[in-house]
């Protein structure tokens, strides 16, 4: 039932995610080396139904899902839930007022 | 043991001052560390690397310092792959550390510290308790479309797991749910016992996220992909979304978070429970 993407697409997806996470130096990271090594190792198999290959394929799919959904979740969070409260100046500006300023500070302020 | 806190304190001012006054008893300090979890901290390191320590366990190094769990223990993982994945998580942080995105790190911390002091048996019992209120077994009677959807999507998974484990798990539309026979529970108990403590931590996490033992086992046994398992877990929500429309800042947000957590849990279970060996096949001489 597990309809997985072909391994090439999964590999490219993971590399895209790593590049998005780390920038131009993603090829130096241990994650990149490990992923490439695993994909190369499992590419050719002598068995007809190679369990190790199927497992590695599923695992790579899972990792791609982890990276992609993490990034999307973070982007959505920043977009919708990241703003926080308005500052006092902004709140006053909403109704067209400005906060009063007293040069020299208020009496009880340092 | 306060050295780490004091060093960090000098960098961030007094964010961590509540910890300074707590008494020295380990239990209290432990609980305090976990309860006053700070959600935002600046990234204080440049490089993340892994190294192999004693006993073949791998550690994470942030610049020169070794990573520690919230409980104060040294952060060690049993295999290199998990270490690389955790290092990638730490390396992915920019400016501020967002702990709620570092799912693998959180799972490792839970497995290492065991803050609720549970053993394998308690975790297996908790997991099996979830079987009684499994999502896949609870059917509705009402909107006909939803009944059909549940039958078409959930029944195959139920049949698969019943065949795979040779058990009976019914589905029911009553409020009490299906009757799970003891033999089923025993079979699952035996199967879950074969996982080690780390894998059980991950498995329980996945079960709690998906709200279903059936779907979790389907995903762990690689019968379902993560996206499929999440879709099946949220089947009713998806049905309502198709009917009433999608709200991105709620539905998509929840779905991606669920996907990330489930994927992290599944990866954690797989990486903790498998080991790999390389057996070289002798090249046979080809003649002619």
Return d(Cα B52, Cα B58) in angstroms, integer: 4
The gap from C-alpha A20 to its chain's centroid, in whole angstroms, comes to 8
- Of residues A85 and B238, more confidently modeled: B238
CA distance B260 to chain A (A): 5
Where are the alpha helices (H) located in B166-224, listed in sequence order? Answer: 182-193, 197-210, 213-220
Residue B26 pLDDT > 60: no
- Average pLDDT, rounded, for chain A: 87
- The answer to whether ipTM exceeds 0.90 is no
Which has the closest alpha carbon to B2: B59, B61, B72, B67?
B72
- Of residues B177 and A31, more confidently modeled: A31
Q: Which domains does chain B have, with CATH numbers?
A: 48-107 (3.30.2180.10), 120-273 (1.10.3580.10)
Cβ of A62 and B223 within 8 Å?
no
Task: Identify the pLDDT of residue B280.
Answer: 67
Give the nearest partner residue to B224 out of A1, A34, A73, using CB atoms.
Answer: A1
Residue B238 pLDDT > 50: yes
Torsion-angle region of residue B119: left (phi > 0), alpha (psi -120 to 50) or beta? beta
Best mutation target among B88, B221, B227 (most A Cβ atoms within 10 Å) is B88
Does residue A55 belong to the interface with chain B, where contact is any CB pair within 8 Å?
yes
Cβ of B87 and A31 within 8 Å?
yes
Return d(Cα B58, Cα B79) in angstroms, integer: 7
Residue B20 pLDDT > 50: no
Over residues B73-93, mean pLDDT: 91
Best mutation target among A6, A70, A80 (most B Cβ atoms within 10 Å) is A70
Residues of B in contact with A45 (CB under 8 A): none
Which has the closest alpha carbon to B260: A69, A62, A78?
A69
**pLDDT tens for each residue of B211-236:** 999 999 999 999 999 999 999 999 99
**pLDDT tens for each residue of B8-17:** 444 443 333 3
Say whether B185 sits in a helix, a strand or coil: helix
Say whether B97 sits in a helix, a strand or coil: strand
Return d(Cα B83, Cα B59) in angstroms, integer: 7
Give the nearest partner residue to A62 out of B157, B252, B266, using CB atoms.
Answer: B266
């Amino acid at each position: 039932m597990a309809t997985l993407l072909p391994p090439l697409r999964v590999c490219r997806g993971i590399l895209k995610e790593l590049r998005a996470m780390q920038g131009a130096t993603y090829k130096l990271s241990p994650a990149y080396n490990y992923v490439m090594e695993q994909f190369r190792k499992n590419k050719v198999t002598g068995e007809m139904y190679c369990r190790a290959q199927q497992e590695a394929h599923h695992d790579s799919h899972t990792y791609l899902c982890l990276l992609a959904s993490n990034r999307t979740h973070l982007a959505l969070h920043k977009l919708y839930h990241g703003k926080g409260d308005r500052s006092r100046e902004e709140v006053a500006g909403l109704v067209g007022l400005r906060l009063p300023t007293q040069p020299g500070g208020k009496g009880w302020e340092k | 043991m306060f050295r780490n806190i004091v060093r960090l304190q000098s960098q961030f001012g007094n964010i961590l001052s509540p910890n300074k006054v707590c008494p020295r008893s380990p239990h209290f300090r432990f609980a305090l560390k976990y309860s006053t979890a700070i959600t935002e901290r600046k990234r204080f390191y440049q490089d993340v690397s892994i190294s192999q320590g004693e006993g073949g366990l791998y550690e994470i190094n942030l610049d020169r310092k070794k990573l520690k769990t919230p409980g104060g223990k040294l952060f060690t993982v049993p295999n290199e792959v998990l270490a690389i994945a955790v290092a990638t998580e730490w390396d992915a942080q920019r400016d501020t550390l967002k702990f709620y995105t570092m799912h693998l790190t959180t799972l490792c911390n839970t497995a290492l510290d065991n803050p609720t002091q549970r053993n394998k048996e308690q975790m297996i019992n908790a997991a099996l308790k979830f079987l009684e209120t499994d999502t896949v077994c609870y059917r509705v009677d009402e909107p006909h479309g939803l009944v059909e959807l549940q039958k078409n999507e959930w029944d195959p998974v139920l049949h698969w797991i019943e065949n795979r484990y040779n058990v009976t798990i019914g589905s029911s539309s009553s409020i009490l749910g299906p009757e799970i026979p003891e033999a089923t529970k025993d079979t699952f108990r035996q199967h879950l016992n074969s996982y080690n403590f780390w894998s059980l931590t991950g498995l329980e996490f996945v079960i709690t996220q998906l709200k279903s033992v059936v779907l979790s086992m389907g995903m762990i046994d690689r019968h379902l992909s993560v996206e499929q398992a999440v879709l099946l877990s949220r089947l009713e929500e998806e049905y309502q979304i198709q009917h009433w429309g999608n709200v991105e800042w709620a539905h998509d947000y929840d779905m991606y978070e669920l996907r990330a957590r489930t994927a992290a849990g599944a990866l954690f279970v797989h990486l903790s429970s498998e080991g790999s060996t390389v057996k070289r096949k002798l090249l046979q001489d080809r003649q002619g």
